Chains A and B, each alone.
Chain A
Amino acid sequence: MSTDTSIKDPAAGTERAERPQARLSDVVIRFAGDSGDGMQLTGTQFTNTSALVGNDLSTLPDFPAEIRAPAGTLPGVSAFQVRIADYDIHTPGDAPDVLVAMNPAALKTNIGDLKRDGILIVNTNEFSKRNLVKAKYEHNPLEDGSLDGYRVYPVELTRLTREALADLELDNRSRDRCKNFFALGMCYWMFSRPLDNTIAWLEKKFAAKPILAEANVKALKAGYNYCDITGVFQNRYEVEPARLAPGLYRNINGNSALSLGLVAASRRSGLPLFLGSYPITPASTILHEMARYKNFGVTTFQAEDEIAAVCAAIGAAFGGSLGVTTTSGPGLALKSEAINLAVMTELPLVVCNIQRGGPSTGLPTKTEQADLLQALFGRNGESPLAVVAAASPSDCFDAAIEACRIALTHMVPVVLLSDGYLANGSEPWRVPAVEDLPDLRVEHASNPEGFAPYRRDPKTLARPWAIPGTPGLEHRIGGLEKEDVTGNVSYDPDNHQRMVELRAAKVARIADELPPLEVDGEPGGRLLVLGWGSTLGAITGAVNLARERGLQVSRLHLRHLNPLPNDLEEILGRFDRVLLPEMNTGQLALVLRGRYLVDVKTLSKVQGRPFTRGEILAEIESMLEA
């Protein structure tokens, strides 16, 4: 964690040749390079290997919106941060202990984050005049003393990689493309990681081009051996396996977990799943993944636009399938009229919004939580629907199942909020047993006796799901106001009032079945840090740090944003003050103030990046000092 676990130099003052293995509890590594340097791949490999070693981990990929911004420029920098630890962690780390910079632009954009005294591995071959200009450096930072205070390891990565691959029938361009694996090999040596997992992955990936597999494996080994032989680093480190709850684990990112959650919901409900989607960053990988699950009866439909995607899902839901659409903020805006159709026709629909920076096209590859109000209110008329949020990459699995459960049991559209950070970030996931997953079986209406399309279940107020093909249940639904019970078109004033209230009451009743909220820490006191969505990790980390400093602070995280849990108001009342960090300018705070007249203090961050623990900790400290 903070100072006690930052990398000290245990080798200082000892003989270099000994290269002792120092045990670390927790380390943050960032790989940064040009978009074409394969940094996401490199980071993912380091992550997967660390997962198999048994570390707890958390990742933060950060890449540009452009597929290939001009090489060597500042906007073209792509980075991947991973934190590994021998205990249960919640965030990808505030500041890296180790930075691998593949070119001047990567150095320039990332050096400011590196811890003082942190390790910097830098590819000196890329520090040509031209590249320095592209990175807007006036002087060569390797020579002007600006890196004093860091432990700098200049390495001729490009040259060394070329030399290592000299005997392979490859041009220099192809050789250069292996230098990320040379760097990865160095990091594997430094953190005592095995190479075999990455070697196996390379051999599989390049099965059709064995020469490329061979080249990358060679580069990986060369990087590893270079450290071993030359003793470039004074020491190497060990991060022991984390003491996590027993079980079977796999490393998973949010979009994968969300996809698996949807498939699980389909299986547990016995309903075929239909996904209507239109490509949009950062949601598209869900469409890709779901398209592979045909043998689970999943139908994916890449529609002509966002509107068709959701409309097709509504059509599928009308026919009795589990209808899902996936998108990001701009797409949610386009879908709003159709979502309202599902509100009016009271069909189950799951809308997954993987939020990104807005407004408009905004920051497509960056993260934000600024679509909450859009999800809650971004439609015409009184338009209540359910909103749930995922809190961590692996939690996307449970959140997806919960979204489907609510949609199916309450005949209501549900917006599931995830975000770019969760979508691409990964962490170990304890794989649940299938039999422990909720039973989502539903019954379609079948009895024509007394059937009316809007005759409600007295407990949930859900209307029957009467699907085409059922004899005697022929009926018409649509976007015009419905007459209570019969579902016929009605413009009657009293009926409209009643239906508006019924739709709201139906959504409100979802809260009646939610489990009680669990406050982490004292049930009441001076300060509650409240959160929703992907801030969970940073809030948990910050609250834990605050407690280590002797501060009394409690924590509560919300899964359900509409309806809000019934016990929330009472819990908020038990605290003198409530701090609500949000990656927006205070959207949930606005809702809570309006609903509960409670003085919630917003901590806002809209920089396209998640909160760090330090930022939240500082706010906790200042609120408790005041």
Chain B
Amino acid sequence: MATAPPLTRKDFQSDQEIRWCPGCGDYAILKGLQTVLPELGIPREKIVVISGIGCSSRLPYYMETFGFHSIHGRAPAVATGLKLTRPDLDVWVITGDGDALSIGGNHLIHALRRNVGIKILLFNNRIYGLTKGQYSPTSELGKKTGSTPFGSLDAPFNPLALALGAGATFVARTVDIYQKHLVEVLRQAAAHQGSAFVEIYQNCNIFNDRAFAYMTDKDNRDEQAVYLEHGKPLIFGNERDKGLRLAGTELEVVELGTGGASEADCLVWDAHRSSPNLAWLLAQALPPRFPTPLGVLRSVETEPLEQAVIEQIERAIDRQGNGSLETLLHAGDTWTVS
């Protein structure tokens, strides 16, 4: 039998017209996903993309896979039901900061704590786009929007810290326009067995343009971000002249070179530590004091829920035999009327 030719990015493009605003960061993320999926060797019909509501949640329509555009905030719950019953499928959840962290916050944290084998991509643009520009749970304090004309008063969520707090086994951050980095992070998420949580900084050029410019502008790229690479020290800066060092139980930025610290003083990144403590420190590293960490903060494998569910069913069948409906209906105390 001839093997089918390998799939390409084109094979994952549906015939639907894409309706995001021109210049929206969502395009780049779609492209990244359509780049990674063909590499996985999984047939298209085995891939399901499930979303909630919001700009990002339109993504399933543009994928030539199975797709489910569900309701606001509930995609992780829909995906959980699907993955528990169909562990053979590769299930991706597409969500945004409003969808995942406001209305769907409960489902997000529970999917992560259960370690269901689904990949959750959170497009964080720090704004409500589809409803025309209200502040979101990741908008910075004081943000002026349609619903906060005098500035927002409530403190934002830190998505990575939230995911780690929920016990997520895979936690990463990347940026829409860093295509290479994005693809690499998605690759690692795809390879993860349990729940994978990826926060993607996404520019909404209509309602919150340049939300991440502080780090994506050319001059700042290396100054404002630190790339987490497994086995490598955490060094950053245009001149690679700064590092992150552990000082007691805190992180600190150190100058490298003469008079300063050396590379050997810097934290060497290991995402596979079973303790989430260092990942937590990195998740809390926020500008302006720290460069924004990009890459995989945590990646540890524990048995995904769907596997445990199947094993429990198999054990029950081993022990009690495959259930007989006849026997079940006749169980308990019975009597005969003749």
Q: Is the CB of A315 within 8 A of B79?
A: yes
Segment with Cβ contacts to B, from A9-17, A139-147, A239-247, A409-417: A239-247
Which of B47, B68, B74, B322 is the most central at the interface, judged by chain A CB atoms within 10 Å of its CB? B68
Q: Is the CB of A296 within 8 A of B45?
A: no
A366 smallest CB distance to B (angstroms): 27
Confirm or deny: A476 has a beta carbon within 8 angstroms of a beta carbon on chain B.
yes
A290 smallest CB distance to B (angstroms): 12
Residue of A nearest to B63 (CB): A476
Segment with Cβ contacts to A, from B84-92, B172-180, B206-214, B239-247: B84-92
Q: Is the CB of A311 within 8 A of B81?
A: yes
Segment with Cβ contacts to A, from B155-163, B275-283, B328-336: B328-336
Q: Is the CB of B328 within 8 A of A296?
A: yes
Confirm or deny: B106 has a beta carbon within 8 angstroms of a beta carbon on chain A.
yes
Contacts of B319 in A (CB 8 A): 295
Confirm or deny: A264 has a beta carbon within 8 angstroms of a beta carbon on chain B.
yes
Residue of B nearest to A344 (CB): B71
Please classify how large the interface on chain A is, using the bins under 10, 10 to 19, 20 to 34, 35 or more: 35 or more
Confirm or deny: A308 has a beta carbon within 8 angstroms of a beta carbon on chain B.
yes
Q: Is the CB of A308 within 8 A of B335?
A: no
Contacts of B78 in A (CB 8 A): 311-312, 314-315, 318
Interface string of B294-338 (1 = CB under 8 A from A): 000000000000000100110011011111011011111111111
Please classify how large the interface on chain B is, using the bins under 10, 10 to 19, 20 to 34, 35 or more: 35 or more
A197 smallest CB distance to B (angstroms): 7
Q: Which of B144-187 contact A (CB under 8 A)?
A: none
Q: Is the CB of B81 within 8 A of A479?
A: no
Confirm or deny: B65 has a beta carbon within 8 angstroms of a beta carbon on chain A.
yes
Q: Is the CB of A432 within 8 A of B329?
A: yes
CB < 8 Å: which of B63, B84, B316 contacts A312? B84
Confirm or deny: B43 has a beta carbon within 8 angstroms of a beta carbon on chain A.
yes
Q: Is the CB of B45 within 8 A of A472?
A: yes
CB < 8 Å: which of A274, A308, A488 contacts B85? A274
CB < 8 Å: which of B66, B330, B337 contacts A475? B66
Q: Is the CB of B332 within 8 A of A250?
A: yes
Q: Is the CB of A475 within 8 A of B61?
A: no
A308-B80, A311-B70, A469-B89 known; A295 and B323 CB under 8 Å?
yes
CB < 8 Å: which of B48, B69, B80, B88 contacts A301? B80
Q: Is the CB of A250 within 8 A of B334?
A: yes
Residue of A nearest to B310 (CB): A299
Confirm or deny: A121 has a beta carbon within 8 angstroms of a beta carbon on chain B.
no
Q: Is the CB of A479 within 8 A of B45?
A: no
Confirm or deny: B32 has a beta carbon within 8 angstroms of a beta carbon on chain A.
no
CB < 8 Å: which of A249, A293, A303, A434 contacts B335? A249
Q: Is the CB of B66 within 8 A of A313?
A: no
Q: Is the CB of A308 within 8 A of B337?
A: no
CA distance A434 to B43 in the complex (A): 39
Q: Is the CB of B66 within 8 A of A476?
A: yes
A296-B323, A432-B329 known; A308 and B43 CB under 8 Å?
no
Q: Is the CB of A476 within 8 A of B325?
A: no
Confirm or deny: A623 has a beta carbon within 8 angstroms of a beta carbon on chain B.
no
CB < 8 Å: which of B65, B83, B317, B326 contacts A474? B65
Confirm or deny: B14 has a beta carbon within 8 angstroms of a beta carbon on chain A.
yes
CA distance A312 to B91 in the complex (A): 13
Q: Is the CB of A476 within 8 A of B85?
A: no
CA distance A432 to B330 in the complex (A): 9
Q: Is the CB of B337 within 8 A of A246?
A: yes
Segment with Cβ contacts to B, from A48-56, A63-71, A230-238, A534-542: A48-56
Confirm or deny: A599 has a beta carbon within 8 angstroms of a beta carbon on chain B.
no
A249 smallest CB distance to B (angstroms): 5
Confirm or deny: B46 has a beta carbon within 8 angstroms of a beta carbon on chain A.
yes
A275 smallest CB distance to B (angstroms): 10
Confirm or deny: A123 has a beta carbon within 8 angstroms of a beta carbon on chain B.
no
Confirm or deny: A170 has a beta carbon within 8 angstroms of a beta carbon on chain B.
no
Residue of A nearest to B323 (CB): A296
CB < 8 Å: which of A52, A242, A294, A312 contacts B333? A52
Q: Which of A291-348 contact B (CB under 8 A)?
A: 293-297, 299, 301, 303-305, 307-308, 311-321, 323, 337-338, 341, 345
CA distance A431 to B336 in the complex (A): 10
Confirm or deny: B221 has a beta carbon within 8 angstroms of a beta carbon on chain A.
no
A201 smallest CB distance to B (angstroms): 9
Contacts of A471 in B (CB 8 A): 43, 45
Q: Is the CB of B329 within 8 A of A469?
A: no
CA distance A320 to B45 in the complex (A): 14
CA distance A197 to B334 in the complex (A): 12
Interface string of B33-70 (1 = CB under 8 A from A): 00000000001111110100100000011011111111
Contacts of B61 in A (CB 8 A): 476, 478, 489
Residue of B nearest to A345 (CB): B68
A263-B328, A314-B78, A476-B14 known; A295 and B320 CB under 8 Å?
yes
Q: Is the CB of B82 within 8 A of A315?
A: yes
Q: Is the CB of B71 within 8 A of A341?
A: yes
Confirm or deny: A216 has a beta carbon within 8 angstroms of a beta carbon on chain B.
no
CA distance A328 to B323 in the complex (A): 29
Q: Is the CB of B84 within 8 A of A54?
A: no
Which of B69, B85, B312 is the most central at the interface, judged by chain A CB atoms within 10 Å of its CB? B85
Confirm or deny: B110 has a beta carbon within 8 angstroms of a beta carbon on chain A.
yes
Confirm or deny: B107 has a beta carbon within 8 angstroms of a beta carbon on chain A.
yes
Q: Is the CB of B85 within 8 A of A272?
A: yes
Confirm or deny: B3 has a beta carbon within 8 angstroms of a beta carbon on chain A.
no
Q: Is the CB of A264 within 8 A of B46?
A: no
Confirm or deny: B249 has a beta carbon within 8 angstroms of a beta carbon on chain A.
no
CB < 8 Å: which of A297, A314, A432, A480 contacts B313? A297
Confirm or deny: B258 has a beta carbon within 8 angstroms of a beta carbon on chain A.
no
Confirm or deny: A33 has a beta carbon within 8 angstroms of a beta carbon on chain B.
no
Contacts of B74 in A (CB 8 A): 307-308, 311, 338
CB < 8 Å: which of B68, B317, B328 contacts A476? B68
Q: Is the CB of A476 within 8 A of B333?
A: no
CA distance A477 to B337 in the complex (A): 52
A52-B335, A274-B85, A469-B88 known; A478 and B70 CB under 8 Å?
yes
Contacts of B16 in A (CB 8 A): 476, 488-489
Contacts of B77 in A (CB 8 A): 303-304, 307-308, 311-312, 315
A180 smallest CB distance to B (angstroms): 20
CA distance A321 to B306 in the complex (A): 15
CA distance A316 to B50 in the complex (A): 13
CB < 8 Å: which of B44, B46, B81, B309 contacts A315? B81
Q: Which of B102-131 contact A (CB under 8 A)?
A: 106-107, 110
A48-B333, A478-B70 known; A313 and B81 CB under 8 Å?
yes
Residue of A nearest to B75 (CB): A311
Which of A197, A311, A473 is the most central at the interface, judged by chain B CB atoms within 10 Å of its CB? A311
Q: Is the CB of B45 within 8 A of A470?
A: yes
Contacts of B67 in A (CB 8 A): 475-478
A576 smallest CB distance to B (angstroms): 40
Contacts of A311 in B (CB 8 A): 70-71, 74, 77-78, 81, 107
Interface string of A466-505 (1 = CB under 8 A from B): 0011111111111110000000110000000000000000
Residue of B nearest to A303 (CB): B77
New contact pairs (5) apart from A54-B335, A478-B67, CB-CB < 8 Å: A250-B330, A295-B323, A313-B81, A315-B80, A474-B44
List 19 A-B residue pairs with CB atoms under 8 Å apart, sorted by A's residue number. Answer: A52-B335, A243-B337, A263-B325, A267-B325, A274-B81, A294-B312, A296-B328, A299-B84, A304-B77, A308-B77, A308-B110, A312-B80, A319-B81, A321-B86, A471-B45, A474-B64, A476-B61, A478-B68, A478-B69
Q: Which residues of A contact B (CB under 8 A)?
A: 48, 51-52, 54, 197, 241-252, 260, 263-264, 267, 272, 274, 276, 293-297, 299, 301, 303-305, 307-308, 311-321, 323, 337-338, 341, 345, 431-432, 434, 468-480, 488-489
Q: Which 10 A-B pairs have the closest CB atoms?
A: A478-B69, A315-B81, A312-B81, A476-B67, A294-B316, A296-B323, A311-B77, A315-B82, A308-B77, A315-B78
